[in-house]
A = this chain, B = another copy of it.
Amino acid sequence: MVSRYLMGTFPDLRKFGGADAFLRACKPRVAIELLSDKWSMLVLGALLFGPRRFGELRRMLDGITPKMLTRTLRSLERDGLLTRTVYPTVPMRVEYALTDLGESAAGMLAVITTWGAEHAEEILAARRAYDARPPAGETPVPA
């Protein structure tokens, strides 16, 4: 049952002027969109170990292309979740580190991780069951 927990967090819906107004409001989406691309979550997770250089991240996120790593880092930097520090040495050195906001986002991510750990199997099972269903209109052949 949702009621108690959810009512504590969602009743703000009504303060938005009902469902319609809430549904058009976008702060929750700002939050979700931070995490909804392929690599952001992983970069955030990697940086929880401490500041990391470009090449270090590239190795940790085995499989990411430089292009996507750059894009992901720029996006997170733009949103204030991490800082990018250039040390003009030779060879050059660039370090990425989470900001307070970034760590806060990782906290939200932890909640999602917990929920995922508890329910991912259920979801994947539902998905398998759905995909195994006979196509609509097709009557299962009796034995």
Q: A residues touching B (Cβ–Cβ < 8 Å)? A: 1-3, 5-10, 12-14, 18-20, 22-24, 26-36, 38-39, 41-42, 45-46, 48-49, 60-64, 77-81, 101, 103-117, 119-120, 122-127, 129-131
Is the pair A31, B120 in contact by a Cβ cutoff of 8 Å?
yes
Is the pair B48, A116 in contact by a Cβ cutoff of 8 Å?
no
Is the pair B10, A110 in contact by a Cβ cutoff of 8 Å?
yes
* Chain B residues closer than 8 Å to A63, beta-carbon distance: 13, 18-20
Is the pair A113, B46 in contact by a Cβ cutoff of 8 Å?
no
Is the pair B5, A107 in contact by a Cβ cutoff of 8 Å?
yes
- Which of B13, B80, B104, B123 is close to A62, meaning CB atoms less than 8 Å apart? B13
7 extra A-B contacts, CB within 8 A, seeds A2-B48, A79-B123: A2-B106, A19-B62, A20-B62, A22-B45, A23-B46, A31-B112, A101-B122
Is the pair B34, A123 in contact by a Cβ cutoff of 8 Å?
yes
The distance from the CB of A101 to the nearest CB of chain B, in whole angstroms, is 6
